[in-house]
C-alpha cells in the first residue's frame, strides 16, 4: 500500500515515517490489517516513537479482532530516553547460587543483598531485575520460577524452554522498568466485521471461494498436501480455533481466497506462514497480559 492509498495519514505518521517505510510496514509488519486498523497502528507507533521493525510494537489479528500490542522492548527503548537512565541489571538465580534478599527499612522494599555464583550453577530457580535511575532509589523486581510456571506449558513454551534466561529476564526487566520510569502504554483492541487485506505469500490461482470445512486427511499414506492440511489444523488449534465453523469464519476474514480443501501446496504454505505470524503475535499478547497481571 502506498501513501496515496491512505489519504487520512495523520501528521504524526508522515513526520515519523517516510512513504517507503510506511509501505513496507503495511506489507510486512501489519499485512492483515485493514486501512483503519493500520492507520491506528501506525499512529500509535509514531506517537510513542516506537519502531515496529525492532519489535517494539506489534499488530496481531485473530478472527474479526485486531490488537495493537506493546512489547517488552518498548519499555527499554522509552526508558533510555528519560533523564537519569541507567542500564538495568537483570540476573538469573540458580539453585547452587548464594542468594539473599532483605527489606530496606528506608525504602520499604525488598533488595538483593547477596548474589554469588559458582559452577556448576544448577537449574534456574528465580530471576531479578534492578532498574536504577540517577536521583531515584533503585527498583528491584524479584520472581520465583514458580510464578512463570505457566509459561513453560503455554503456547510459547518452546521459546521459554529453550531460551529460559532470555524470556525470564525480559519478564522481570519489563516490570522493573515500568515501576522505575512510570511507563505505561495503552494496548488497543478492535472488534468489527470489516474485511482486511492479506499479503500475497505465493502466486495464487482461481479456486472455489466458498469456505468449506477443513477435511481431515485419511489415516493411510499421506501426501504432501495432506501433511500440510494437518499442519494447518494444528495451527488453528494453537490460535484457539477448534471447530470447523470457527476455522471457516477465520478464513473468510483473513484469507478469503484460500480454501484448504482445494488449495495448492504453495497456497497452503502461504496460509501456514500467515497462521504462524498470528500465533506469534498472540503469544506476545498473552505474555504481555501475564506480565501486567503480576504488577
Instruction: Flag whether pLDDT at 208 surpasses 50.
Output: no
**Residue 256 belongs to what domain range?**
201-295
pLDDT for the residue numbered 288: 59
Q: Is the same domain home to 41 and 87?
A: no
pLDDT for the residue numbered 216: 47
Note whether 219 and 158 are same-domain residues: no
For residue 43 the three cell numbers come to: 499512529
Residue 231 lies in a domain: yes
Q: Higher pLDDT residue, 22 or 237?
A: 22
Q: pTM score > 0.85 for this model? A: no
- Say if 166 falls within a structural domain: yes
| Pair 58, 88 in one domain | no
Residue-wise pLDDT for 187-201, tens only, equals 778 765 444 333 333
- 78 falls within a domain: no
* Count of the separate structural domains present in the chain: 3
| pLDDT above 90 as % of the chain | 40
- Domain assignment present for 235: yes
> Same structural domain for residues 179 and 88?
yes
Shared domain for 87 and 178, answered yes or no, is yes
Cell of 37: 486498523
Angle between helices 164-181 and 265-294 (to 10 degrees): 50
Assess if residue 293 is contained within a domain. yes
In the prediction, which pLDDT does 93 show?
97
CA 130 to chain centre: 24
The runs of H, that is alpha helices, within 182-210 are: none
Tell which wins on pLDDT, 96 or 262.
Answer: 96
What is the gyration radius of the CA atoms in the chain, in angstroms? 23
Are 295 and 219 contained in the same domain?
A: yes
Is the pLDDT at 204 greater than 90? The verdict is: no
**Looking at per-residue confidence, does 91 or 212 come out higher?**
91
CA quadruple 7, 11, 12, 14: dihedral positive or negative? positive
Write the pLDDT tens digit of every residue in 272-281. 877 877 777 7
Q: Is residue 76 part of a domain?
A: no
Amino acid at each position: 500500500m502506498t501513501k496515496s492509498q491512505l489519504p487520512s495519514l495523520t501528521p504524526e505518521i508522515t513526520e515519523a515515517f517516510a512513504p517507503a517505510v510506511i509501505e513496507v510496514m503495511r506489507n510486512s509488519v501489519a499485512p492483515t490489517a485493514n486501512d483503519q486498523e493500520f492507520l491506528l497502528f501506525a499512529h500509535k507507533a509514531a506517537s510513542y516513537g516506537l519502531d515496529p521493525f525492532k519489535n517494539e510494537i506489534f499488530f496481531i489479528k485473530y478472527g474479526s479482532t485486531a490488537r495493537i500490542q506493546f512489547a517488552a522492548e518498548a519499555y527499554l527503548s522509552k526508558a533510555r530516553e528519560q533523564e537519569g537512565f541507567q542500564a538495568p541489571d537483570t540476573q538469573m538465580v540458580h539453585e547452587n547460587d548464594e542468594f539473599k534478599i532483605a527489606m530496606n527499612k528506608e525504602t520499604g522494599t525488598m533488595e538483593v543483598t547477596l548474589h554469588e555464583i559458582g559452577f556448576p550453577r544448577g537449574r534456574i530457580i528465580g530471576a531479578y531485575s534492578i532498574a536504577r535511575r540517577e536521583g531515584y532509589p533503585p527498583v528491584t523486581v524479584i520472581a520465583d520460577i514458580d510464578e512463570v510456571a505457566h509459561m513453560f506449558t503455554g503456547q510459547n513454551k518452546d521459546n521459554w524452554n529453550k531460551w529460559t534466561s532470555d524470556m525470564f529476564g525480559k519478564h522481570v526487566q519489563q516490570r522493573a522498568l515500568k515501576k522505575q520510569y512510570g511507563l505505561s502504554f495503552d494496548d488497543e483492541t478492535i472488534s468489527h466485521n470489516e474485511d482486511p487485506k492479506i499479503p500475497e505469500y505465493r502466486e495464487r490461482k482461481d479456486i472455489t471461494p466458498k469456505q468449506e470445512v477443513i477435511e481431515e486427511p485419511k489415516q493411510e499414506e499421506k501426501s504432501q498436501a495432506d501433511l500440510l492440511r494437518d499442519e494447518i489444523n494444528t495451527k488453528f488449534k494453537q490460535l484457539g480455533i477448534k471447530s470447523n465453523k470457527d476455522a471457516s469464519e477465520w478464513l473468510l476474514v483473513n484469507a478469503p481466497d484460500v480454501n484448504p480443501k482445494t488449495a495448492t501446496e504453495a497456497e497452503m504454505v502461504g496460509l501456514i506462514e500467515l497462521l504462524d505470524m498470528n500465533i506469534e503475535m498472540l503469544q506476545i499478547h498473552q505474555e504481555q497480559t501475564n506480565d501486567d497481571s503480576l504488577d
